[in-house]
Structure 1
Amino acid sequence: MKNIFTYFSNNFNQSILAFDAIEMVVCETSNCLEKAAVFLEKFKQDYRFGFLTYDLKNEIENLSSLNPDRIGFPSVGFFVPRYVVEWDKDGKQTFLKGEEDEIAKQFISNFLKQKEAQVHNKVVLIPGLSKKDYISKIEKLQEEIQYGNIYEVTFCQEFYAENSEIEPLSTYFALNRATKASFSCFVEWDGKYLLSASPERFLKREGNRLITQPIKGTAKRGATQEQDLQLKTELLASEKERAENVMIVDLVRNDLSRIAERNSVHVDELFGVYTFETVHQLISTVSATIDEKVSILEILKALFPMGSMTGAPKISAMQLIEEHETFKRGLYSGSVGYFKPNGDFDFNVIIRSILYNEESNSISCPVGGAITLKSTPEAEYEECMIKVKALKEVLFSND
């Protein structure tokens, strides 16, 4: 097994690095969610880092994933690290686990060198769908909405490159500088890499409280302060964007209610407007209280995949996603995160990301958005272009 490690940064006041796996679980097919849950329970007194791919949906519901997979991440992967290092907002380094020995010092030194390394990528992404084909698919999905089969669906398209090499870690840091995303992360797993500029939290646990923050609603940044403010105002006032957001909030509330204590599901914030380096986003926060007896397997079966990446109703939306998309999502639309020894955890939503297979020299950069009856196919296409812009720039750059 090649080097396995993960890094997370919220680009405000904390980053955390985990490396040197001493225990791990990897599962390609069959009962992967259960195997992950057993592993997580077995080592519950320790730190556990890892990922869940979108296609675990097939174990939770009677679904399938038959589209081609360009990257090939396993369905699930978690590890117990020998070392866990945290940096605070002042750059102070603390070992949460492990000693600051020569092995750790060398790894951290090599890691930090990549932070400021120059990037000279010349990768040109190819759209998996022509604009015409993309618009045609949106129109077909809107027909499904008119028929009453779904209310909303998150449809994604893939931008990709073959026979392309990148230096994953320095490219990730370049992406992070450009986006400053609040749930940014990097994963190296047996020659497969995730370089993520995700702004979205899937699920956080604090004691007996679960918190989820779905994103639905996107606007580009303005060229001037006045334009920026106008775009934020229009985003918050948009009937379409608010409808997308509230549908997913209702879906998440329903998912949480399956495991939450009675009357404990609350919408803490509805339609919060958050500004990032490249976009404005409409983010809502929903929380619930759960009994300590509720297992991680029960939590994941109730909430995964996240509603913001499926649509509503969830199962019907996932069936249509499989029918109309042209690629297997894999780790895209899945989640990366970590568990602390006290049982708390935090996981993101894998969007705005570069996925890279070092062996096959393949790159995949999917992007998408929520489709409702109010969606304009042309506008949805342009939203995808906004979301893929930073990925394209870092893959073809002279940073």
Structure 2
Amino acid sequence: MRCVAQLTAEWREPAEVLSAYAEEPWALGLVSGAPGEPGRWSYLARDPDATLMVRAGARRDPFAALSELLGPSSPGLAGGPPFQGGVVGLASYEFADWVEPLGLARQAAWPDLAAARYLSVLAFDREAQAIVAIGRGADEGAALARARAALSWLDAIPQAPRRGALTDGLINSDAAAYEAAVAQVVERIHAGEIFQANIARAWTGRLAGDARPFDVFARLVGQSAAPFAAYLRLPGLALVSNSPERFVAVRGGAVETRPIKGTRPRGRTPGEDVALAAELLASDKDRAENLMIVDLMRNDLARVCAPGSVRAPELFAVESFANVHHLVSTVVGRLAPGKGAVDLLRAAFPPGSITGAPKVQAMKTIASLETPRGPYCGSLFWAGFDGDLDSSVLIRTAAFALDEGGWSLEARAGAGIVADSDPHAERLETEAKISALARALEGACA
């Protein structure tokens, strides 16, 4: 798709625009409400021209299929939005079996990989308060026609947000069982089997009445903005994510990952909030936990980056979100000649921050203690026609499946377990992490 065209329109909130067609298969929203990059740009897309579904047992290498779907690199418009059309993909956690064959069990409903190629995109520039409609095509006429098609999405009548509780209640996994699992992981660490493992617990429920997964997404965007909020509608399935965490990104060959490890809840008063952030920053345990994953991600990036280019320019930055403080580090590198975005995905998947160290052994530990994760702790990514990439870690995420009774849902929250982890404290951390999503599901919208 060598030619690119763009048209502009006045600002509208992306979630409002998406509400008009959110029930279409492959309707997509990537909405960032955080300040600064990547908070400036949000994207909507629909009606892909090609799709890819990969399930366990597929004969073809899914990374090769993904590269074929993306096609040869084609430059974008200088100064335009970072994503100017390309492939958006949902890689479930068990997609890891294609990187390191472990015989992971699967959730029946969810594919390992669901990807779609979008030739039309609406890019929302929050900084300039403008919308850019992007179209791709084999010639200028085709590109302009697709940009006009994207612009026409703004004409659809938005749907009003649903008020009231979106679920009749969430059922969470047994607290004592989770604490026992944490204690078991601590024992394995002391036995020398692993250094760290991220263990999660599940919350399940059903949407009430005529509530839609999109209602959950719209409420989250309004109540607790996150850098990597996302909505993806698949046939019979839907994903809603309010993730704060970048997995891997490529911009002009420069690579970045920003792993999160270390959490405290937000305080009930300004003074308590400041104290909790300071406690997190000063915690030797949380710094050690974070540094283990930094080292793991440095190793993953080094597989596809030029020798000597991988480094960690920032360690242990405290970032604050609606319900938690997090400890975040940054690792960067530069792709080696001949390596691209898909190579980076293969080298780094699944994200180290939600597996542990060593990664493969931590994954075996997770598989022995959890049911299949499905989308949770996988990644939602866009890969541009120009070779750039961005991706999230699918935490703070709910997975929805449609059946005869309506929409069922599952959400999980986990904690990184290390040698001195306290099972009760780790269980409380999972509850702090799930709180914004639970509030959106169970609370009433004024």
Aligned to 1:356: 400
Letter matched to residue 217 of structure 2: Y
Shift of 1:260: 1.4
SS of the aligned residue for 2:313 comes to: strand
Aligned to 1:273: 318
Q: Which structure would you say has the larger RCO, counting Cα contacts within 8 Å and 6 or more residues apart?
A: 1
- Is structure 2 residue 371 aligned with structure 1 residue 371? no
Aligned partners of 2:157 and 2:338: how far apart in 1?
39
Query: What are the within-5 Å matches in structure 2 for residues 299-378 of structure 1?
Result: 299-325=344-370, 327-359=371-403, 361-378=407-424
1:142 and 1:371 in contact (8 A); partners too: yes
Q: Structure 1 residues 363 and 156 mapped into 2: Cα distance closer, same or farther (>3 Å)?
A: same
Aligned partners of 2:437 and 2:167: how far apart in 1?
12
Letter matched to residue 390 of structure 1: A
Aligned to 1:92: 130
SS of the aligned residue for 1:200 comes to: coil
Query: What are the within-5 Å matches in structure 2 for residues 18-29 of structure 1?
Result: 18-29=45-56
2:133 and 2:147 in contact (8 A); partners too: no
SS of the aligned residue for 1:358 comes to: strand
Total equivalences in the alignment: 394
Aligned partners of 1:276 and 1:75: how far apart in 2?
30
Aligned to 1:64: 103
1:266 and 1:287 in contact (8 A); partners too: yes
Letter matched to residue 244 of structure 1: E
Shift of 1:274: 0.5
Letter matched to residue 187 of structure 2: E
Aligned partners of 1:92 and 1:321: how far apart in 2?
44
Shift of 1:276: 0.9
Q: Structure 1 residues 107 and 232 mapped into 2: Cα distance closer, same or farther (>3 Å)?
A: same
Aligned to 2:120: 83
SS of the aligned residue for 2:103 comes to: coil
Aligned to 2:82: none
SS of the aligned residue for 1:201 comes to: coil
Deviations along 1:303-335, whole A, 9 cap, x unmatched? 00010010000000000100011x211111111
Aligned partners of 1:55 and 1:111: how far apart in 2?
38
Aligned partners of 2:429 and 2:150: how far apart in 1?
42
Query: What are the within-5 Å matches in structure 2 for residues 189-200 of structure 1?
Result: 189-200=234-245
Deviations along 1:89-115, whole A, 9 cap, x unmatched? 14311102265888646644558545x
Shift of 1:83: 2.1
- Is structure 2 residue 25 aligned with structure 1 residue 3? yes
Please say which of residues 92-101 and 337-346 is displaced more in the overlay. 92-101
Aligned partners of 1:250 and 1:324: how far apart in 2?
25
Unaligned regions of 5+ residues in structure 2, if any?
1-22, 75-84, 136-143
Letter matched to residue 124 of structure 2: W
Shift of 1:80: 1.5
Root mean square deviation of aligned Cα:
2.2
Aligned partners of 2:185 and 2:286: how far apart in 1?
18
> What is the identity percentage for the equivalent residue pairs of Structure 1 and Structure 2?
29
Aligned to 2:199: 155
- Is structure 2 residue 90 aligned with structure 1 residue 51? yes
Aligned to 1:42: 71
2:383 and 2:389 in contact (8 A); partners too: yes
2:32 and 2:229 in contact (8 A); partners too: yes
Aligned partners of 1:179 and 1:315: how far apart in 2?
33
Please say which of residues 354-363 and 305-314 is displaced more in the overlay. 354-363
Shift of 1:395: 1.3
- Is structure 2 residue 62 aligned with structure 1 residue 33? yes
2:70 and 2:385 in contact (8 A); partners too: no
Using structure 1 for the length normalisation, give the TM-score. 0.92
Aligned partners of 1:66 and 1:226: how far apart in 2?
46
Q: Structure 1 residues 169 and 109 mapped into 2: Cα distance closer, same or farther (>3 Å)?
A: farther
1:119 and 1:171 in contact (8 A); partners too: no
Q: Structure 1 residues 216 and 91 mapped into 2: Cα distance closer, same or farther (>3 Å)?
A: same
SS of the aligned residue for 2:48 comes to: strand
Aligned partners of 1:299 and 1:75: how far apart in 2?
18
SS of the aligned residue for 1:252 comes to: helix
Query: What are the within-5 Å matches in structure 2 for residues 85-234 of structure 1?
Result: 85-89=122-126, 90-97=128-135, 99=145, 104=150, 107-110=153-156, 112-113=158-159, 116-118=161-163, 120-127=165-172, 129-162=173-206, 166-234=211-279
1:2 and 1:191 in contact (8 A); partners too: no
